Structure 1
Amino acid sequence: MFVTDGGVETHLIFNEGQDVPDQSVYLLNMSEAGRAKMREYYRAYIPICQKAGQGFLFDTNTWRANPDWGTRAGYDAVRLREANQIAVAFCEEMQAEFAAAGVESIISGVLGPRRDAWRYDAWMTVEEATAYHTPQIEAFADTDADYVSAYTLTNVPEAVGIARAAEKAGVPVVLSFTLETDGNLPGGKPLGVAISEVDAATHWYPAYYMINCVHPIHFASVVRHGGKWVDRIGGLRVNASMMSHAELDNAPSLDTGNIPDLAQRYARVLPSLPNIRVIGGCCGTDHRHIDAICATCLPG
């Protein structure tokens, strides 16, 4: 079991006032002031892991460090490769600090979707996804990252393409789908169908799957009444808010939700996920949410 962080993008932008375009938090790694802010961010998780008696998963802050989004930030292919590798090196630096505090850790190189992370991408093809995500995966493959993770996926073709690119690069991969308030992927595909389709198309290459960027109230029934595919879910990164993606997109401020209620709902869904190994948060969550979740689900 590994504890991971909350929603790094929403926390640093809304709670800490960091100015990063398009939630491109990896840009903070490029300055000493930014790295200091990231160190402060991660240090809040050391006592949480100590109390829970669990290790920590460093997900690199590279969710937007892919070609299209990188171009918007002024980064070409060479600079993006460097940025992804710098992110891993930063996590390695923090690993030493966690180890000194008695907390073991691992590192995952993080990918995000090519287009909108909260709307169904009907145009994505497997071939496009493979070609698009290969440079970022290859950048991580040339580091000591333990594996790569793709978060907030909305469709099967992109997930398949990422898995194939990871297999070609020789690195393990974890795939995480986002869900709407009905418990299905954007576009309406059931989660179990999506997982089964990706496994069939990739010969079960993904190490496991995750669910992220959705509140437990919206998927608890789905996994509770799911089939054998539920065994493939190994991690959760939940939202603080019960609002839909569209509502969150139009919200005037950050919704941090009800922390004790979120922790209780998290605890109630875990028995339905026998192979869970990563516990963390997504939009609107921070160390306070993860602390409450761990205190409720992993009392040490």
Structure 2
Amino acid sequence: MLSELLSRYPKILAECAIAERLRRYPDITLHPTLYNTPLIYGPEDSRERMSSLYREYLQAASRAKLPLLLTAPTWRLDFTRIAAAGVPPSINADAVAYLLGVRAKNRSDSEVLVGALTGPKNDCYLPELAPGADAAESFHTRQVEALADTPADFLLAQTLPSVPEALGIARAMAATDKPYLISFCTGSDGKVLDGTPLDEAMDLLDQHLSRAPEGYFVNCTHPRFLIENYRPGALSRLIGIQANASSKDVTKLDGCAATEADPVGEWARSMLDLHAIHQVPVLGGCCGTTLEHMQHLIPPSSPPHSPRRSDGRG
């Protein structure tokens, strides 16, 4: 289903921020380690506030008649954190079921896929803390298997600061029957935060996996960093970006008390430039982005779909 969507549409929307938007509401308290995930259980007003953010993105994509990728709030929901937090062991499956329910209640005129999300073991901005490939595979496999057992349409490993950890997670995902995506955190130099050029990182994983991902994403970065550091054609396996609203280096944004954002029009122009120059079809937002950012990615009028790349892997 994911592969077919990528082959049919030159532009696909992805959600913009969820947890970071909820963090800014004074009446909502996020869990210290599981963030917004426990809100799926309540209180009801907080759960509804989270649902309303997903609903905004669903409605925008429906009006534009563009497909949309959403991801369940399962980031860093490994079983070590679950046990320490004392939440139900089924929370991964419950979070996927929650978002599938939001999709079912909000019928869309566009195709909507729901993914199941995992994140790095440690801080996504500190690659020196990331485990090696074997340790990462061992650590992440249990959550990956739990997510693969749900009706989610695809798996996504996001905010990965190092190539070895990405390789370990990808091994675990390749062993399932789900299509999957790998998303790196990249810096202002366009490299993965461990210093690996993005094109080399994607090539390395493709060469060392029994089943390669459908494609690669970057997140917690700005599109200009990729445009400025890679020639056209160098990022043929990059199929998505969920970009920060700010063009500051991601490591300087970590822990900011207030939302940092460039003018939304400038952000959107950079996103659409990346889309045109590097043929990156999936466009969405990360820290600091809102519904307005998604709306700026939607042109006033455009053909709903046409064939894109024909290399067989998105």
**2:5 aligned partner:** none
How big is each residue's C-alpha offset from its partner over 1:58-100, in whole Å with a ceiling of 9 and x where there is no partner? 211111312344455344xxx34x111111111111222332x
> Are the aligned partners of 1:48 and 1:291 in contact in 2 as well (CA < 8 Å)?
yes
Q: Distance in 1 between matches of 2:40 and 2:69?
A: 18
How big is each residue's C-alpha offset from its partner over 1:116-138, in whole Å with a ceiling of 9 and x where there is no partner? 10121355111111111111111
> Are the aligned partners of 1:52 and 1:299 in contact in 2 as well (CA < 8 Å)?
no
Q: CA deviation at 1:297?
A: 9.7
**1:144 aligned partner:** 151
| Code of the aligned partner of 2:147 | F
Q: Distance in 2 between matches of 1:298 and 1:83?
A: 40
**2:295 aligned partner:** 291
**2:193 aligned partner:** 186
Does residue 1:51 correspond to 2:55, yes or no? Answer: no
What is the number of residues matched between the two proteins?
292
Pick aligned residue for 2:274 from 254, 269, 275: 269
For 1:44-83, list aligned pairs within 5 A. Answer: 44-71=56-83, 73-75=85-87, 79-80=88-89, 82-83=90-91
What SS is found at the alignment partner of 1:169? coil
| Code of the aligned partner of 2:244 | N
Q: Give the TM-score normalised by structure 2.
A: 0.86
> Are the aligned partners of 1:263 and 1:296 in contact in 2 as well (CA < 8 Å)?
no
**Cα gap change, 1:86 to 1:95, in 2 (>3 Å):** same
Pick aligned residue for 2:283 from 279, 282, 289: 279
Does residue 1:125 correspond to 2:132, yes or no? Answer: yes
**1:97 aligned partner:** 105
**Cα gap change, 1:29 to 1:180, in 2 (>3 Å):** same
Does residue 1:85 correspond to 2:97, yes or no? Answer: no
* Structure 1 unaligned spans of 5+: none
Q: Distance in 2 between matches of 1:11 and 1:84?
A: 21
**1:38 aligned partner:** 50
For 1:153-168, list aligned pairs within 5 A. Answer: 153-168=160-175
**1:211 aligned partner:** 218
| Code of the aligned partner of 1:84 | N
RMSD: 2.2
Q: Distance in 2 between matches of 1:151 and 1:296?
A: 31
Pick aligned residue for 1:108 from 103, 115, 124: 115
**Cα gap change, 1:171 to 1:47, in 2 (>3 Å):** closer
**Cα gap change, 1:197 to 1:288, in 2 (>3 Å):** same
Q: Distance in 1 between matches of 2:301 and 2:172?
A: 35
How big is each residue's C-alpha offset from its partner over 1:23-57, in whole Å with a ceiling of 9 and x where there is no partner? 61111111133321222111212331133211221
**1:27 aligned partner:** 38
How big is each residue's C-alpha offset from its partner over 1:245-274, in whole Å with a ceiling of 9 and x where there is no partner? 232124331113210110111111112233
**2:20 aligned partner:** 10
| Code of the aligned partner of 2:270 | R
**1:197 aligned partner:** 204
Q: Percent identity?
A: 28
| Code of the aligned partner of 2:20 | T
Q: Distance in 2 between matches of 1:135 and 1:247?
A: 33
* Structure 2 unaligned spans of 5+: 1-8, 305-314
| Code of the aligned partner of 2:216 | Y
Q: Distance in 2 between matches of 1:282 and 1:147?
A: 19
| Code of the aligned partner of 1:215 | H
**1:249 aligned partner:** 254
Greater helix fraction, Structure 1 or Structure 2: 1
What SS is found at the alignment partner of 2:240? strand
> Are the aligned partners of 2:181 and 2:214 in contact in 1 as well (CA < 8 Å)?
yes
Q: CA deviation at 1:194?
A: 0.8
Q: CA deviation at 1:181?
A: 1.0
| Code of the aligned partner of 1:160 | L
Q: Give the TM-score normalised by structure 1.
A: 0.89
Q: Distance in 2 between matches of 1:127 and 1:296?
A: 48
How big is each residue's C-alpha offset from its partner over 1:152-179, in whole Å with a ceiling of 9 and x where there is no partner? 1111111111111112222221000111
